Homo-oligomer: A and B are copies of this chain.
Amino acid sequence: MNLETALQKLKEKGYKRTRQRERILEIFVKQDQYIAAKSILKEIQEDFPGVSYDTIYRNLYLLTDEEILEATELGGEKHFRLGCGTQGHHHHFICTDCGKTKSIEFCPMESINENLKGYDIENHKFEIYGKCPVCS
């Protein structure tokens, strides 16, 4: 996803186009990997010294809700990356060192055969963690 597509998506939902929001998106467009809130804050502070965690988290969650970003948890911290909306449903291997990912086409929901009668399934998460070839 590119910057303009993401901004367009926000505009359609009635969200305002702010400099901070733009800057956050830029970071994700540039770096195709999972990034921690802390790193986002640090990078944004170069342009907006007064930016607060409130702004960072509010936007990260907003963008995640709007399915522009995807979230996961690495080492006790939430990390975010640009969504893969166009590429169809898939999962990821995630490097716990650098945050880079590799797509996994296999989806466990296709193979699962458990008795979940009465359970209303809305979503699922399947992720493999470890070290990528570069980091291992």
Contacts and interface: CB of A to CB of B under 8 A. Distances in A.
B111 A122 contact: no
A88 interface: no
A113 B108 CA distance: 11
Interface size class of A (residues with CB under 8 A): 20 to 34
Contact of A129 (B108, B112, B125): B125
A12 interface: no
Interface stretch (A3-11, A46-54, A56-64, A98-106): A98-106
Contacts of A136: 118-120
A116 B131 CA distance: 11
Given A73-B73, A76-B73, A125-B125, A120 B111 contact: no
A106 B102 contact: no
A111 B114 contact: no
A96 B122 contact: yes
Contacts of A78: 76
21 contacts: A93-B116, A93-B121, A102-B116, A104-B112, A104-B114, A105-B114, A106-B108, A109-B128, A111-B111, A116-B128, A118-B132, A119-B130, A120-B136, A121-B128, A121-B129, A122-B129, A122-B131, A123-B130, A124-B129, A125-B126, A125-B129
